[in-house]
Structure 1
Amino acid sequence: MKSSIIFCFFAAFGGWVFGYDIGYISGCLIMPDFIQHMGEQDPTTGEWILSSQRQSIITSLLSAGTFFGALLQSFTSDRLGRRGSIIFWSTLFSVGIIIQVASFGLAQITVGRFVAGLGVGALSAIVPLYVGEAAPKKLRGALLVLYQVQIASGLFLAYIVDLGTHHLKSSASWRIPVGLQLVWGAFLIVGGLLLPESPRLLLGRGDEKGALKAIARLNDCEVDDALTRDVIKDLEEAIREENEGGKAGWLECFSTRSMMWKRTLNGCMIQFLQQLNGQNFYYYYGPVFFESADVPLSAYSIQAILGGISLATVIPAMWTIEHLGRRKSLLFGAAIQAACALIAGLVGHYYTDVAGVTDSMVKTGGNVLIAFAVIHVSMYSLFWGPTPWVILGETYPLRVRPKAIALAAAVNWLWNFLLSYFSPLIADDIGPLILLIFFGCLIFAFVYVFFMLPETRGVRYKLLSLPTKKNAPSPTNLTYVPCRLPSKKSMSSTDPKYPHGSLIAGNLHPITRLSTLLKEKVENQLSCLLPLRFLARLMRGSLRMNTWKMRLRLRLGLGEKRKPGKRVLCKSTWRV
């Protein structure tokens, strides 16, 4: 188990690279030497300025590279393997950093950021892919959160480095933060050499011996251990079922026959909504924004505070994502962040951005902006930062997983590019009111998750591979209401179908889902769906628990008439 954590930590270090990259550039945008090298001279005043247009180009070119990198990694993930892909893209990332360190103008640094972005985007898709396949299922959610922990760690370090170097008068003020990324690239390359290959990939290629060795390394056991055999058996069964349809193409991600398009849509939508949370606006342009709002603290200090808060709040996400589940995490996060964006946008506008405001009003407005920016970013780190990546690692069957994750990651980076390019231009025109745009996006995110997104916590790969039924209940069908399924504690870890008491809504036939209600009492169950009409008939005159259970058993066709001295279940060994 310790080995799994260590190996997944190495793989998730790609998140550190991304976090550091978006963190250091925000501070560089207001460094005098950086402005002199990358900006232009005002012909009237003779001062060097970095226009909003140039800020957009410098910042967004990384995201443009990540968009293409996320798509291209799907080819290398299959051909080079997960491990080989990590090494390849980490090397390309390092090449981009070298170009940036040697930059003396706008063209060089934008090319360097684009090349580095190819590596960052590819790693952003490979990491959840690798961790989702290599981690034991009971640790899968927590280890997938490691990616966001690494992002927050890299972000915080970038802010600290900017805070320590911004006072330097030479180009070292920004070349040092850029050059440090070579260390992260080297760490990823060395770590990639030590990682075991994904056992699912090896087994899919027919290398059972290699898969056994990889499983043994990941689980700290011997090749002939019972645990290794159990895992390999589970993987073989899942892969056999997944491969019945032959090799998957890109169009299968949008298949209506298997209803895979629903999973692809959900994966892309949560990545789209993650980018429109508003947190990246603070990450990319926080110093410029806070400086223009005339807040009482220095822009670098505020960014360091935001980075520290992000790191402190993402660590508990390893617990909350398993105990709250994926859906509730996203719902809580969207609601709280929407409130923060609304308050910060209105107060920031009317207290700092309109004519006639007094110094005391500006100070009050600045303090409110800082306070709600901290809450906004902390809720993102706790909920919306890690959860979409966890869902990506748990949603798709092996046959389409690299392509589906590539599409979702590409959507993430496409909107990251659009946000980083247009945000400074919009903020120049409307100031803090830009936060109201994010407020609207967060309200939409809440509604979408509530009605469209199923729970994926604890679902075995075999269940993930099953096609979505067209006639299955889902959160979008308003003729169904939530009921409860057996809790994680109440179900055995060896249960053949539902090891952690959690299902993907809409993936299984309703009768299969309803049959699990026989396991435990209603108050100890988690999440299923029942027709409203059936609920009305079920509960009418059936207040006693035994009568409730008998009615449900008869509804499902699982019960027989009671014989003297015992009750028989014809399709289940569960006792009532």
Structure 2
Amino acid sequence: MGGGLAFGASSSRGGGGSGDGSDDGAGLSLLRRGPRPTFTVDLLLLTICAGFGGTLFGYDTSVISGALLLLEKEFSLSDFQKEVVVALTVAGAFVGSIVSGGLSSKIGRKPSIIIGSLVFLAGAAILTFSPNWQILAVGRFVVGLGVGAASATVPVYIGECAPSHIRGALTAVNTVCIATGQCLANIVDAAFSTVPSGWRYMFAISAIPAVVQFVAFFFLPESPRFLVAKGERPRAGLVLRKLRGKGFNVEPELDSIEAANTQRQGGLMDILAQPHLRRILFLACMLQVINQVTAINTVMYYSGTILKMAGITSDTQAMWISALVTGVFSVFTVFGLLLVERAGRRSLLLWSLVGVFVSLLVMAQAFYLSQTHSPAGNNTLSDPTCAHPNCVTCLQHHHCGFCVDAGSHQRSGVCLANANTSAVPAACVDAAHWYASAGDVAISNVCPSPYSILTIVSMCLYLSAFGLGVAALPWTINAEIFPTHVRAAGTGYAAAINWVCNLGVSLSFLSLTNAITRAGTFWLYSAIALLSIVYVYFALPETKGRSLEQIEALFMRPDEQRASVHGDAGHDGEDDAHSQQAQKRPLKPAEANATTYNSINAPKW
């Protein structure tokens, strides 16, 4: 069956069935052919408990945003050291995603997630008791291993346990949990910002969801698709009966899952051996590239730093504003969750990217205005080593600080060497005695700006747009497009690409702002977002409502479909379960036609 399965009343739009929205489309036909599985309490609990992996993912990647402001002072971190502390979590996530993909194929999704919980706990302990920045960096790497494992395993686990008509929504719950973890991290950062060594408490709190997930998973089932792949059909049947609800006949679904698992669990070479699997892998990797290079983790990891760049003078104030903007992100990921089955993956991702592009342009303009209206430096009074024209360029050099009148931040100031020491106010008054007022102050890491509010608004707009689609859909789509026997490996490699790009973004942001200015950095991100829109428009087919095995057929050319064994790639246990719940009957023409290759919905390779 090739038609889009219905979710609510909007099933037939966006790439399902015949594509004309008629009642004879395969989505509505499927509704007539048999009942869907119910949304059971067991499925709800499974999704929530698995979502703790996403919460840990979000918390441990975002807590550094506020902690970094405190760590910078306690350990006197340079820009490079800050980038290393941030990026080592990403490096660990890259390793974790690669290892977990193969591990979950061998020992199962459930044990892999349990092991990931233990890794999170170990990382939290190292971070909490770090005596120096080097040990802190090790702890960040260990936490990254857990983050990578969660990124590669949790979406697959949820996707393989969910029925097709709500799979996209349930898989997107993981992204909502990630956003919730990010929001919680910023709230915790702000709450402990004035506590001595508050960063230790920030890291320690991440142990709580790790313990909850570790305990909860001992009571959750293994993925039924993994059990079938390992020849444990009776156990898979028990799991499906609990997840699908009483009275639902799971035998046809088991039959088709078993048929789809005739091949052994494959790896990278198995993917590269078949043209349509190569296309799937390339698309999966490109979606993960887009997820990262459109700046999400620049904003998440460095939100406190970005707000200080924008002119927010107080660390605590910057952390609370970070909590606010990540709260906006959390809300819009929920909206994305509600829209994913109605609007379709492709349409929602495209509109989300358009919003990301526009908001990044606004953010770049905010930084451009801040720089062009930055307090000017009085070069006749400046130290020769810090003779910079304005506050922004002055503070891009860490041995310099900018003195400016506290009552009128827009008047000229003076750039001084070593103005970022504890003796700053006295040094300012002594060197810049031309100020009549004793109220002159030194601003060691913040340039005052009347455009800081524009930066905050653009960050909210950016996270709103990103949360609607780009945040969740690469993970949702990647959990759908790979066939069962290479799904774990394929999603693992795609997640690894995500972390490679994440590493590049997190290691380069501060260096980019120094090399091409803050405004130039966000203009670069906006140009990448524009290119992403073009790629998604031409490359991504609609997968809404299709079964996991039906989606595979979208990536086969006509000759490849003819070469497949009686169209096995187009069969799915859930579809057969639906159809065999009701009496058998011949397919209507619209349903039969839905199995053919549709060049409109196919990727434009």
TM-score category (smaller protein)? 0.7 to 0.9
Report the counterpart of residue 126 of structure 2 in structure 1. Answer: 99
Structure-2 separation of matches of 1:259 and 1:530: 15
- Aligned residue number for residue 288 of structure 1: 305
User: 1:230 and 1:347, CA in 2 relative to 1: closer, same or farther beyond 3 A?
Assistant: same
TM-fit CA distance, 1:118: 0.7
The Cα of 1:239 is off from its aligned counterpart by 2.2
Aligned to 1:325: 344
CA distance in 2, matches of 1:122, 1:341: 30
Structure 2 residue identity aligned to 1:164:
A
State the partner residue of 1:90.
117
Look up the match of 1:44. Answer: none
Please list every run of 5 or more consecutive structure 1 residues that lacks an aligned counterpart in the other structure: 40-49, 474-490, 497-510, 519-526, 532-576
- What's the counterpart of residue 268 of structure 2? 250
Separation (CA, whole Å) in 2 of partners of 1:493 and 1:161: 47
Which of 357, 381, 392 lines up with 2:467 in the alignment?
381
What amino acid is the match of 1:174? W
Structure 2 counterpart of 1:61, one-letter code: L
The residue aligned with 2:160 is 133
2:150 aligned counterpart, secondary structure? helix
Which runs of structure 2 are paired with 1:177-576 in the superposition (5 Å)?
Answer: 177-221=202-246, 225-240=247-262, 243=263, 246=264, 248-255=266-273, 257-295=274-312, 298-352=317-371, 355=374, 363-429=449-515, 430-466=517-553, 468-471=555-558, 494=578, 515-516=593-594, 529=600
Structure 2: how far apart are the matches of 1:10 and 1:165? 27
Instruction: Specify the SS of the correspondent of 2:600.
Output: strand
CA distance in 2, matches of 1:81, 1:253: 20
1:237–1:462 Cα contact (<8 Å) kept: no
Q: Is the 8 A contact 1:514 1:528 kept in 2?
A: no
CA–CA distance in structure 2, aligned partners of residues 79 and 492 of structure 1: 28
Q: Is the 8 A contact 1:253 1:400 kept in 2?
A: yes
Q: Which residue of 2 aligns with 1:59?
A: 86
Q: Normalising by the residue count of structure 2, what TM-score does the alignment of the two structures yield? A: 0.73
CA distance in 1, matches of 2:284, 2:324: 31
Deviations 1:200-236 (A, max 9, x none): 1111111111001111221233xxx443223223322
Once residues 545 and 170 of structure 2 are traced to their aligned partners in structure 1, the CA distance between those partners, rounded to angstroms, is: 13
Contact 1:346 1:433 in 2 (8 A): no
Give, in angstroms, the shift of residue 400 of structure 1: 0.7
- Provide the rounded CA distance (Å) in 2 between the counterparts of 1:227 and 1:196: 19
What SS class does the counterpart of residue 140 from structure 1 fall into?
helix
Residues 472 and 365 (structure 1 numbering): CA distance in 2 closer, same or farther, change over 3 Å? farther
Q: Which residue is 1:108 aligned to?
A: 135
The code of the aligned residue for 2:457 comes to A
Contact kept in structure 2, 1:258 and 1:467, CA below 8 Å: no
Deviations 1:413-464 (A, max 9, x none): 1111111111111123412321111101101110010001111111113323
The Cα of 1:512 is off from its aligned counterpart by 9.6
Higher RCO structure (Cα 8 Å, ≥6 apart): 2
Q: CA deviation at 1:135?
A: 0.8
DSSP-derived class of the 2:69 partner:
coil
Distance in 1, matches of 2:48 and 2:559, equals: 38
Deviates most, 17-26 or 353-362: 353-362
Q: Deviations over 1:456-482 (max 9, x none)?
A: 111113323448433589xxxxxxxxx
Deviation at 1:75, TM superposition (A): 2.3
Classify the secondary structure of the residue corresponding to 1:251. helix
Relative to structure 1, is the Cα distance of residues 83 and 295 closer, same or farther in structure 2, using a 3 angstrom cutoff?
A: same
CA distance in 2, matches of 1:432, 1:202: 52
- TM-superposed CA distance for 1:321, in Å, is 0.8
Shift of 1:36: 4.4
Pair 247,517 (structure 1): closer, same or farther in 2 beyond 3 Å: closer
In angstroms, what is the RMSD of aligned CA positions? 2.8
- Cα distance per residue 1:258-314 (max 9 Å; x no partner): 421100000000001100122211111111121122148831122011111011111
Partner of 1:147: 174
| Deviation by residue 1:131-168 (Cα, 9 ceiling, x = unmatched) | 11011111101100111110111111111111111011
Superimposed CA distance per residue, residues 47-87 of structure 1 (whole angstroms, 9 cap, x where no aligned partner): xxx22111101000000000000000122102221101111
Displacement of 1:194 in angstroms is: 1.4
The CA deviation string for residues 152-191 of structure 1, in whole angstroms up to 9 with x for no partner, is 11111111111111011x21x1111100111121111112
Between 363-372 and 91-100, the greater mean CA deviation after superposition: 363-372
**Amino acid paired to 1:29:** L
What are the superposed Cα offsets for residues 114-143 of structure 1, whole Å, 9 maximum, x if unpaired?
Answer: 111111101110011101101111110110
Q: What is aligned with 1:499?
A: none
2-structure distance, mates of 1:288, 1:351: 15
Question: Quick one: which amino acid aligns to residue 166 of structure 1?
Answer: S
Q: Partners of 2:188 and 2:140 in 1: how far apart?
A: 19
The residue aligned with 1:547 is none
Could you say if the C-alpha distance between residues 294 and 249 of structure 1 is closer, same or farther in structure 2, counting changes exceeding 3 Å?
A: closer
Matches of 2:95 and 2:235, distance apart in 1: 31
- Structure 2 CA distance, aligned partners of 1:110 and 1:411? 22
Which one-letter code corresponds to 1:234 in the other structure? S
Cα distance in 2 between the residues matched to 1:468 and 1:356: 56
Corresponding letter in the other structure for 2:531: F
For 1:324 and 1:359, how far apart are their aligned partners in 2?
A: 48
1:38 aligns with 2:75: yes
Q: What is the total number of aligned residue pairs between the two structures?
A: 471
Secondary structure of residue in 2 paired with 1:269: helix
Distance in 1, Cα, partners of 2:214 & 2:177: 16
Q: 1:227 is paired with a residue of what secondary structure? A: coil
Q: Distance in 1 between matches of 2:303 and 2:349?
A: 24
Q: Distance in 1 between matches of 2:217 and 2:577?
A: 32
